[in-house]
Amino acid sequence: MQPGEALDVAAQVSVTLAGFAGIVVVFRPDSLHQWSDVDKFRLRLLLANSAMPLTWSLFGILLLVIDPPVISIWRWCSTFAVLSALPFLTFNATTGRRILTSEKQVVTKMVYYPVAVVGSAAILLQLINIASWNRFWPFFFAIFVYLVAAVLQFLRLLLLPPHSH
């Protein structure tokens, strides 16, 4: 599969996952403003983990259509991914720690922390890609990791009962 095709598929999956967020909101018994902090956090993670791979994929597609092709295209894409992920990571690390400190469910912590570690490793790969590799696979790995995290959040929101306040 060529990078452009892979990015196209990732963009389609991202849009689909973001749309699933609307399904979750509609089928929950309470309005969004009545949700617990942990459920709102899960929804925010679902949306962000869908939106970031979408914008990364679109940025990669944009650079792929430039003629002549950009020589360091994957460095540019990795730089874009890191710069756009930093605010997300900072905000969610702070919010996640605050919510998970008060959270009593061990399963929530067992899901959140490993996903956060793998997501951080994906961003670390971007830094290596910027510094020396200039390869497609580290950039696509980050897209893959964040999409898997979005799927996980979607399943948790869909399958778990609403969290009590």
Can you give the residue range of the structural domain that contains 27? 3-159
Q: Per the domain annotation, does 73 fall within a domain? A: yes
pLDDT digit string, tens, across residues 36-84 = 888 888 889 999 999 999 999 999 999 999 988 899 999 999 999 999 9
pLDDT digit string, tens, across residues 79-118 = 999 999 999 888 888 887 787 777 666 667 788 889 989 9
Q: Per the domain annotation, does 165 fall within a domain? A: no
Q: Per the domain annotation, does 164 fall within a domain? A: no
pTM, to two decimals: 0.92
Model pLDDT, residue 56 = 98
Closest CA to 77 of 160, 6, 23, 161: 6
Structural domain count, the chain = 1
125: pLDDT confidence band, cut at 50, 70 and 90? very high
Q: Per the domain annotation, does 121 fall within a domain? A: yes
> Mean pLDDT across the stretch 131-152?
97
Q: Per the domain annotation, does 100 fall within a domain? A: yes
